[in-house]
Amino acid sequence: MSPAAASTLSVLARVEMGRCARHPLFLTGIVVTTLFCFVDPDPQLGVLFHAIVPATAIGVLGIFVLASLTRRSQTIHAAAGAVPVAERTRSLALVAACLVPFAAGLAWWAWAFITYRNHAAPPNGFPFGPVGDGWAAAVLFGEGPLACLGGPLLGILVGRWSGARAAPALTAVGVIATCLVMQGLFEPLRRIRVVMPWTYFGGPAGIPGDPNRILLYSGSPAWWCVYVACLCALAVLAIVLHDRESPRRPVLMLAAGVGAAAAVAVGLAMWTGVDHTLVNPLPSS
Amino acid sequence: MSTATVVRTSELAKRYGSTTALHPVSLTIGHGLTGLLGPNGAGKTTLIRLLATAMAPSTGTIHMLGHDATGSLAQRTEARRAIGYVPQELTFPGAMTAFSFLDYVAVLKEWTQRTERHAEVRRVLALVELADRAGKRVRTLSGGQRRRLAIAQSLLGDPQLLLLDEPTAGLDPVQRASLRALLSARGAGNAVVLATHQTEDVAALCERVIVLADARVHFDGPVSAFVATAAGSVWLDDRAVPGARAAWRTGSGRMRSVGGRPPAAAQSADPSVEDAYLLMLGTDVLEDARTI
């Protein structure tokens, strides 16, 4: 990238970050997430189940926010016709804007981890068994900040590749629907659920006779985080690939490498860590 | 007209499948105002979009100020630094203010220093007489004001090549006169290409005219030479001249006829750009264009 392009990217990134930070939907997500931080966590499930809040309020709404910013960027470019700043630079500026929701997710993560450390789960609660602080930190990181990053990236991807106005809404519905199915409630899907960009690693899934019994699902949240980070990187590459004027071959080669890394990471997320679904030996109540 | 070459095209053509949007065109454009005149569907927008590097040609080359605009991305980027372009179809983010829209476009044109950028935005807003609308959302601006906003973005950075596709559409006579003053001043030291089907814009502004129809160049030369092609073919009479390409009753009550064989009593009239245009393209071409 030339010095002029790098300088422009820096300015454009700041512009897009400002637009993201001021977007009403993003602000709504921040308010909702902050309000939920003042709600005492469920004594049995702890703060680990709070991750749904930033994932939805910042991550899912982020799909709409960044799709909107992407469309606006395209509209302005169309109004100006041909400009020296390449689409790839404009896309990377939008990607930089995703650091705003990611930063909000990181702030939530810091709060959540501190809260987790200060509110130990009861023996019949979640988590239990052979998991420590690292496991909890990884779960919170994957379900919180990474979701806050991934949703907005998906928004840019949809905005770049689809001109349909309903595309962001359909994407959000699709993400929520598949995550609901793959959250671990269905036993046959528990090992492969980590292919999803958002899932649970345990909870009150229940057993016969005790529908709220706490379970710990198989898999490694740390490797799942690596996998989701790879998905985010693939999203960025797919976004910049949309620019037909810039060289695409290096991007495709990089995408192949990241794709291979993602495949390895998701395999490790399935087959390392907690070996199989564990059932809390104590009844839920 | 200055001979300094700003753009040179060689066998430039555009096809969409079996449809030819522009037959091979070789042109040299220098400083001053050049009009691209033709009916709808003639290929004006295609040519101007090609010159603006907003689309890639099927064949041919464009050299712009020493850069191969049909070559590498780096060459194209260099060429784009010299271009200001107003597309025919205007799209705006309605929720943005006029100032913030121009500020964003200025960043896309590599104005990275905030203070200088804002000064440049204020300069072009003043040029198009929208300074008092800077803080208004684009959706609240009238059609004419939006057209002027589009022209303002094209003027950012004082480009050496200004490409305007139907810039006067939607402007009232006062705004049109104001725009003409602005463009004529621009043409003194830069190249301005004006695509239009309004012959009066060409007559009022341009030193040179390129007439396009059926995706081909039919005329390329000084406006005076173009007008001269209709000399002795424009008549005033009480009735339409037999065989005229076009005839209409003027405000004085007499029929103005272009082409045809005049009766002895018919009075010869000074031709205009419009007369030459009607005579050159003929009824067939014009009717073909109307069906597009």
**Is B73 in the A-facing interface, judged by CB distances under 8 Å?**
yes
Are residues A80 and B52, on separate chains, in Cβ contact within 8 Å?
no
Average pLDDT over residues B111-121: 95
- A205: pLDDT strictly greater than 90: no
Q: Do residues B239 and B161 touch, judged by C-beta distance below 8 A?
A: no
Contacts of B42 (CB under 8 A, 6+ apart): B197, B212, B213, B214, B215, B289
pLDDT tens string B144-170: 899 999 999 999 999 999 999 988 887
Distance CA B210, CA A157 (A): 42
For A87, half-sphere exposure in the C-beta direction (CA atoms, 13 angstrom radius) is: 23
Calculate how close chain A gets to B168, using CA atoms only, in Å: 16
Q: What's the pLDDT score for residue B28? A: 94
Q: pLDDT, tens digit, for every residue of B81-93? A: 999 999 988 889 9
CA distance A94 to A1: 17
The CA distance from B149 to B152, in Å, is: 5
Chain centroid, CA B26 distance in Å: 18
> How distant, in Å, are the alpha carbons of A11, A112, A230, B64 from that of A273?
43, 22, 19, 61
* Per-residue pLDDT at B290 exceeds 50: no
Looking at beta carbons, which residues of chain A come within 8 Å of B96?
72, 76
DSSP letter assigned to residue A56: I
CB contact at 8 A, A211 and A128: no
Q: What average pLDDT does the segment B33-46 reach?
A: 92
Testing the interface with B: which of A10, A25, A76 to mutate, by most B Cβ within 10 A?
A76
CA distances to B8, B16, B162 from B46, rounded to whole Å, are: 16, 11, 16
User: Exposed, middle or buried: residue B137 (CB in 10 Å: 0-12, 13-18, 19+)?
Assistant: middle
**In residues, how long is chain A?**
285
Measured between CA atoms, the residue of chain B closest to residue A1 is B74
Contact A15 B104 (CB under 8 A): yes
Compute the C-alpha angle A265/A268/A269, nearest 5°: 85
What pLDDT is stored for residue A47 in this prediction? 86
Residue A44 clears pLDDT 90, i.e. is over it: no
Distances (CA, A) of A220 to A141, A195, A257, B274: 13, 12, 22, 77
* Per-residue pLDDT reduced to its tens digit, B210-232: 999 999 999 999 999 999 999 98
Does B91 contact A at CB distance below 8 Å? yes
Q: What percent of chain B is predicted at pLDDT more than 90?
A: 59
**Of A83, A116, A110, A102, nearest to A12 (Cα)?**
A83
- Residue A37 above 70 pLDDT? yes
Strands B59-64 and B5-16, by their bridges, are antiparallel
Q: Region B134-150: what's the mean pLDDT?
A: 92
- At A228, the pLDDT band (50, 70, 90 cuts) reads very high
Count of pairs with CB atoms under 8 A, one residue in A, one in B: 80
Tally of CB atoms within 10 A around B10: 15
ipTM for the whole complex? 0.87
Nearest to B107 among A15, A78, A79 (CB): A15
Which of B73, B108, B112 lies closest to A246 in CB terms? B73
* Contact predicate B202/B196, CB 8 Å: yes
- Enter the DSSP assignment of B67: E
Q: Would you place residue B286 in the very low, low, confident or very high pLDDT band (cuts 50, 70, 90)?
A: very low
Alpha-carbon span B101 to B130, nearest angstrom: 13
Question: Is B110–A84 a contact, with Cβ atoms under 8 angstroms apart?
Answer: yes
Contact B104 A86 (CB under 8 A): no
pLDDT digits (tens, 9 = 90+) for B104-114: 999 999 999 99
Residues of B in contact with A159 (CB under 8 A): none
Dump pLDDT digits (tens) for B234-256. Answer: 999 888 888 888 888 888 888 89
Residue B88 distance to chain A (closest CA, Å): 9
Whole-angstrom distance, CA of residue B159 vs CA of residue B89: 21
| DSSP letters for B107-176 | HHTT---HHHHHHHHHHHHHHTT-GGGTTSBGGGS-HHHHHHHHHHHHHTT--SEEEEESTTTT--HHHH
- CA terminus-to-terminus distance, chain A: 61
> Is residue B1 predicted with pLDDT exceeding 70?
no
* CB burial of residue B162 (10 Å; 0-12, 13-18, 19+): buried
Residues contacting residue B130 through CB under 8 Å, at least 6 positions apart = B98, B145, B148, B149, B152
Contact B101/A12, CB-based, under 8 Å?
no
Whole-number pLDDT of residue B266:
84
- For residues B60 and B7, is the Cβ–Cβ distance under 8 A? no
- Residue B80 at interface with chain A, using a CB cutoff of 8 Å: yes
Q: Which amino acid is present at B194?
A: L
The span from the CA of A247 to the CA of A243, in Å, is 8
Q: Which two tokens stand for residue A58?
A: 């910042």
Higher-pLDDT residue of A150, A246: A150
Phi and psi angles of residue B14, each rounded to the nearest 5 degrees, phi first = -140, 130
Whole-model pTM: value is 0.89
Mean pLDDT of A120-142: 91
Report yes or no: B37 and B209 within 8 Å, Cβ to Cβ: yes
Q: What is the pLDDT of residue A39?
A: 86
Phi, psi of B99 (to 5 degrees): -65, -50
Question: Which among B77, B90, B107 is the nearest to A11, CB-wise?
Answer: B107
Q: Using the beta-carbon criterion (under 8 Å), do A82 and B107 form an inter-chain contact?
A: no
B177 CB-near residues (< 8 Å, 6+ apart): none
For residue A10, the model assigns a pLDDT of 95
pLDDT at B3: 55
In 10 A of CB B173, how many CB atoms? 7
Burial state string for B177-214 with b = 16 or more CB within 10 A and e = fewer than 16: ebbbebbbebbeebbbbbbbbbbebbbbbbbbbbbbbb
Q: CA–CA distance from A227 to each of A22, A118, A153, A234, A274 (Å)?
A: 30, 29, 15, 10, 17
Of chain A, the percentage scoring pLDDT greater than 70 comes to 99
